[in-house]
Structure 1
């Protein structure tokens, strides 16, 4: 998300809670490790159990888990903690927020500690996670979560419409045609989050990459989205939302899930975070995204970022343990999170994971085959996302034509890049 991402609602639900998994309250010194996170419900419970296990075995490196609101303001809260002189040792950061923390004296460069540690096995992490944690060739975070978008569909609605279920060979034309046939009588073929945030943007980026395009030029200095590929992606959105009227435009309040559960939406482009919220009486399938030139999808990795000497000395060992294959698979079993390491799928317990979360298989395979590009890890990305979100939103609402929206967005992105 991340920003992300949406998936972010899994981390933002509920009232704020303070969850302490260790004795003591202070941060810094004496091996105490304060970890800011956004987990609630099953995620918070699973995280807490692991922290308790670590604390029982490491009396000199006690972990204190602190719920910190679990929203995209965590970057601002982290920066505020720098100003107050009381940052945590670790903070869970969403998506490309890491670029706002690099270059600051509190943020630890972990390159030697993770790439140079044979036991940590940096290259075992899925590429999307490694990219999210790396800025300008240096590692500033530890991958905390890796997900991606796939096509989730209501099998009953397809059967009632006499439509064959989506396949791995589906094209954009197949997708549009099915959405059109699923639409009517208060139903929509597809849903698209259209609040103009990163939740709007990252679905478009998947389309852009599927058409063979990219967001920026190879050197990262100019916008590249106002291309034939960008036009084709925007035209598909316009054709489906404005011409076919087969798209439910979600205002960012996550109503698409309620509508999917009630049989009023046939298809979603979503991630594993939504599977647990689908009603048990809804028979659904999961397939890779439809393709144009490729079947590219987009990952929304989040990271744990480490601060200060105490974080480097005492928090890093905890994170290495937490994200080891066996321990992380335990966490995935409890939460439905995807594996973050390739070796996790080879563990004996992975078969049990797939049995418990049958829809996760496609998402895991995506990490190996269809996550081929990443959002740029640059300080200007939040501005780029804002500009592109406005452009996509205007096209989906029928307020702008694809070419004009892309040209305007490209000009504003070029200005943002030039001003850096």
Structure 2
């Protein structure tokens, strides 16, 4: 794929909100109390409460206003920190204090379903209007649980002044980065934000995947099998040994946090950083010229990042579920809404029409193209047992605190024990 440069970056212009929203076939398993609700495109009524973060609320202000005018429904938006939404939803929904509609990450889906707080939404043929990976991510045990809006994933961001060409392999990246440091042109061969105690499994996973290091086995339909943990396989052990080597050589540095990594790359201190589209605004403001490339493989397989998909889901406790479903499927699923969210957050739209309308030379488009070949982050409940021990072990290995094979094997055993005891 050709590199996408920041010099040619531009935003789409949001089309006027009209009454021509995409009509989807939808139904809900939510609660009762729908006497005020009308059919899709007809009269609505009552009130629905929607939980989302400030960024998405600002982006959707015109879409929400159009829905209120056209449906006769009042939308009460409750602003929450995105990282708090799913946990608060599980706690408050059963008590009647939760929303009708909630924005949540797809990897929380297994927990939301197992707690009975979300209802499936039947998209019918309209599911084909979305990127395949987005629908796959928003599905659990054969059902779709919401309308996806944003797709985000990691890629390699390259300072084109320090590294004019994309590295073909991980070894090429390391050698180019080390040469830039040796010449005095850069301070760091690579910037990857890490935590001294928990590393960052998400940012390091593409490299892990390139060694053939999965987390779980896959079912025949491509979904994750949470009962079949694979984090201790041979490929993962090879990755563990590589982690120690990169820590010893300084390619990975536990003293560089996410914030430091972004700041230093924006200051021109390294040819490369592994990051997501959420960093682009900072790089643009700094005026640095960069390109977005696939992360080169360190093993024998592609360096496949984990894709995060964010979507709007229907509460199973909604008392106005027909109108809430209409809001999700007719308005949130529209090209206007998905484009507005993209413009506000530099994340690729899940709706194919909105994605294809992005400028071909946009960095966000490059991230989206890389993400289309990636894999969804596991959304099975067993994933909750992995994160803490996974990150802590990576930090120990990078920091040279023991034999990498033994540390990784002990971690795998401990994770399996936690899953078995859940």
TM-score range, shorter chain: 0.7 to 0.9
Alignment-derived partner of residue 338 in structure 1: 348
* Partners of 1:92 and 1:303 within 8 A in 2: yes
Structure 2 unaligned blocks of 5 or more: 1-32, 37-44, 219-224
* Partners of 1:183 and 1:246 within 8 A in 2: no
Alignment-derived partner of residue 51 in structure 2: 36
2:319 to 310, 313, 319: 310
2:100 to 65, 68, 89: 89
SS of alignment partner, residue 143 of structure 1:
strand
* Partners of 1:126 and 1:367 within 8 A in 2: no
1:156 aligns with 2:168: no
Alignment-derived partner of residue 13 in structure 1: none
Q: Distance in 1 between matches of 2:403 and 2:333?
A: 46
2:365 to 344, 347, 361: 361
* Partners of 2:199 and 2:254 within 8 A in 1: no
Alignment-derived partner of residue 74 in structure 1: 85
Q: Distance in 2 between matches of 1:144 and 1:107?
A: 17
Q: Distance in 1 between matches of 2:254 and 2:190?
A: 9
* Partners of 1:380 and 1:416 within 8 A in 2: no
Alignment-derived partner of residue 257 in structure 1: 262
1:175 aligns with 2:173: yes
Q: Distance in 1 between matches of 2:405 and 2:169?
A: 22
1:57 aligns with 2:65: no
SS of alignment partner, residue 166 of structure 1:
coil
Alignment-derived partner of residue 201 in structure 1: 201
Alignment CA distance shift 1:377-1:200 (3 Å): same
Q: Deviations along 1:100-145, whole A, 9 cap, x unmatched?
A: 21134442122xx22x3x3xx1133223322322222222232232
Residue 280 of structure 1: how far off its partner (Å)? 4.1
Alignment CA distance shift 1:77-1:227 (3 Å): same
Q: Deviations along 1:381-402, whole A, 9 cap, x unmatched?
A: 1221122111112112222332
Q: Which 4+ stretches in 1 moved above 4 angstroms? A: 27-30, 196-199, 250-253
Q: Deviations along 1:282-319, whole A, 9 cap, x unmatched?
A: 11111111023224222111232211343531122112
Following superposition of structure 1 onto structure 2, how do residues 231-270 of structure 1 map, counting pairs within 5 Å?
231-242=237-248, 244-249=249-254, 252=257, 254-270=259-275
1:322 to 327, 332, 335: 332
Residue 70 of structure 1: how far off its partner (Å)? 2.6
Normalising by the residue count of structure 2, what TM-score does the alignment of the two structures yield?
0.79
1:187 aligns with 2:156: no
* Partners of 1:241 and 1:397 within 8 A in 2: yes
Alignment-derived partner of residue 358 in structure 2: 350
Alignment-derived partner of residue 308 in structure 2: 300
Q: Distance in 1 between matches of 2:320 and 2:193?
A: 37
Alignment CA distance shift 1:366-1:360 (3 Å): same
Alignment CA distance shift 1:249-1:44 (3 Å): farther
* Partners of 1:192 and 1:250 within 8 A in 2: no
Structure 1 unaligned blocks of 5 or more: 1-26, 159-163
Q: Deviations along 1:218-247, whole A, 9 cap, x unmatched?
A: 4543432223321332333322222x2133
Q: Distance in 2 between matches of 1:338 and 1:361?
A: 7
Q: Distance in 2 between matches of 1:297 and 1:182?
A: 26
* Partners of 1:132 and 1:302 within 8 A in 2: no
Residue 95 of structure 1: how far off its partner (Å)? 4.3
SS of alignment partner, residue 191 of structure 1:
coil
Alignment-derived partner of residue 397 in structure 1: 399
Following superposition of structure 1 onto structure 2, how do residues 193-232 of structure 1 map, counting pairs within 5 Å?
193-195=193-195, 200-218=200-218, 219-232=225-238
Q: Distance in 1 between matches of 2:271 and 2:402?
A: 27
Q: Distance in 1 between matches of 2:338 and 2:391?
A: 34
2:61 to 40, 44, 48: 48
Q: Distance in 1 between matches of 2:391 and 2:77?
A: 34
**Greater RCO between the two (CA within 8 Å, min separation 6)?**
2
Alignment CA distance shift 1:263-1:391 (3 Å): same
